[in-house]
Amino acid sequence: MRFSRVLVTGGAGFIGSHLVERLLEAGIDTVVLDDLSVGKRENVPTNATFIEGDVRDPHAVSAAMSGVQGVFHLAARVSIRASVEGFYGDAETNLMGTLNVLRCCATARVNKLVYASSMAVYADSPRPVPIPESYDTVPLSPYGVAKLACERYVRLVATQAGFQSVALRYFNTYGPRQTFTPYVGVITIFIRRLFLGEAPVIYGDGEQCRDFVYVGDVANATLLAMQSDVSGEVLNVGSGAGTTVNRIATLLCHRLDPTIRPQHVAEHAGEVRNSIADIRKAQRLLHYDPQERLEDRIDEIIAWNRQTSPEAGRGGQE
């Protein structure tokens, strides 16, 4: 399926801005809608059309959707931990914002919507093995509940309104431009602490296993989902391999300051222990082929954080 003009909600954010770059490289006219609550204006390439607005605002979304054939809905509050106490605000943006985008898609008669969901929709896995899309969807956090509800709304509304849809369950995405917060992105959080000469803080024993997938691979999968004829499906987007939090901490301590040892504290509620993607369905339907390994990209992530972090230079070493 070919598109000449598309909309990316959340296109000034971490994953969204990398997707926008891919779209422009493919020669696709791209509109970005972002309220800049987390995303940054400088992340948006100058040859994209930028509209500052909230996905909950029907007028802003309708204006951004004018003339587009495809919509990538990435705008969201992205925090499992923060959603536990802030469940109302989480649902207000992640659920109601998505419903507003769906309503505008139906009115604008777009051809396809690609929805950014999350591995947070899954129940915990007792073993560190890849889980398929058929695995139990019993979220442990309000964030996961909202994402799962949105997946089902997307499929239902798209079918009724006559446009195609795909939901992509992103796993732990890392890479340049990941905004630092105390809640999201363990790699970025650990790097910032090490810049200050402080120990990475690990919740629990650190043997929880995650699928860390490079942002460029995620952006490529998202573009493939729009270009394909696949519709009505949910697909895992990860690397297909698991890495423990202890391994991440050891790798970064060794790289930045081998004298520092990680600090362990009580584990957080609402987080799964094991989360590794079985990506065979995406490989089969989208020809998705993740290229990047964490060990090969870690210096790039450190360098980007060093350039953009106020903490850099105040602690740690090369």
Which tens digit of pLDDT belongs to each residue from 114-139? 999 999 999 999 999 999 999 999 99
Sequence-distant (≥ 6) Cβ neighbours of residue 317 within 8 angstroms: 256, 257
Task: Say how far apart CA 203 and CA 171 lie, in whole Å.
Answer: 19
Per the listing, tokens 């394909």 go with 228
pTM of the entire predicted model: 0.93
Task: Say how far apart CA 237 and CA 286 lie, in whole Å.
Answer: 11
Catalytic residue among 115, 122, 135, 143: 143
pLDDT tens, residue by residue, 208-233:
999 999 999 999 999 999 999 999 99
Cβ count near 103 (within 10 Å): 15
Task: Say how far apart CA 44 and CA 186 lie, in whole Å.
Answer: 24
Q: Supply the pLDDT for residue 84.
A: 74
Q: Supply the pLDDT for residue 309.
A: 75
Radius of gyration of the chain (CA): 19
For residue 80, name the pLDDT band (cuts at 50, 70, 90).
Answer: confident
Task: Say how far apart CA 62 and CA 282 lie, in whole Å.
Answer: 31
Average pLDDT, integer, range 59-77: 97
The separation between CA 235 and the C-alpha centre of its own chain, rounded to angstroms, equals: 14
pLDDT tens, residue by residue, 280-316:
999 999 999 999 999 999 999 999 999 987 765 544 4
Give the residue from 79, 80, 81, 61 showing the smallest Cα distance to 71.
61
Task: Say how far apart CA 287 and CA 162 lie, in whole Å.
Answer: 25
User: Is 183 annotated as catalytic?
Assistant: no
Q: Supply the pLDDT for residue 78.
A: 82
Average pLDDT, integer, range 193-198: 95
Task: Say how far apart CA 90 and CA 145 lie, in whole Å.
Answer: 10
Looking at the chain, list the stretches that DSSP marks H as alpha helix, in order from N- to C-terminal side. Answer: 14-25, 58-64, 80-85, 87-91, 97-108, 142-161, 186-195, 215-227, 245-256, 280-286, 294-308
Same CATH topology for 5-173+214-237 and 176-210+241-275+293-308: the answer is: no
pLDDT tens, residue by residue, 233-242:
999 999 999 9
| Domain 176-210+241-275+293-308 in CATH 3.90.25.10 | yes
CB contact at 8 A, 270 and 206: no
For the chain, the structural domain boundaries read 5-173+214-237, 176-210+241-275+293-308
Local structure of residue 94 (DSSP, 8 states): I
- Within 13 Å and on the Cβ side, how many CA atoms surround 304? 15
Task: Say how far apart CA 125 and CA 255 lie, in whole Å.
Answer: 31
User: What would the two tokens of residue 305 be?
Assistant: 């954080």
Which fold is adopted by the domain 5-173+214-237? Rossmann fold (3.40.50)
Mean of pLDDT over the chain: 93
User: What would the two tokens of residue 103 be?
Assistant: 């309503």
